[in-house]
């Protein structure tokens, strides 16, 4: 997203394993100042 009011680059990766779903979102600034910021979420799988 490159707009005057908001500028970030991001990538999402979803992994589905036998016991949980993992979601990784990597956020970077377009000028690449500083390291990227990772946001990680783990969701347990449940059987019904």
Query: How much is the pLDDT for 10?
Result: 83
> Which of 4, 5, 9, 3 has the alpha carbon at shortest distance from 30?
9
Query: How much is the pLDDT for 46?
Result: 83
Q: Which helix (H) or strand (E) holds 41?
A: strand 37-44
Beta-bridged to residue 42, according to DSSP, are 22
Query: How much is the pLDDT for 32?
Result: 61
Query: How much is the pLDDT for 30?
Result: 67
Total structural domains in the chain?
A: 1
Positive or negative, the CA dihedral 30, 2, 12, 23 is positive
Query: How much is the pLDDT for 2?
Result: 56
Q: By residue range, what is the domain housing residue 7? A: 2-44
pLDDT by 10s per residue, the chain, length 48: 556 666 667 889 999 999 999 999 988 776 667 788 899 999 998 866
């Amino acid at each position: 997203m490159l707009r005057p009011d908001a500028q970030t680059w991001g990538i999402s990766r979803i992994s589905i394993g036998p016991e949980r779903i993992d979601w990784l979102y990597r956020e970077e600034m377009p000028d690449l100042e500083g390291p990227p910021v990772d946001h990680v979420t783990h969701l347990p799988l449940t059987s019904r």
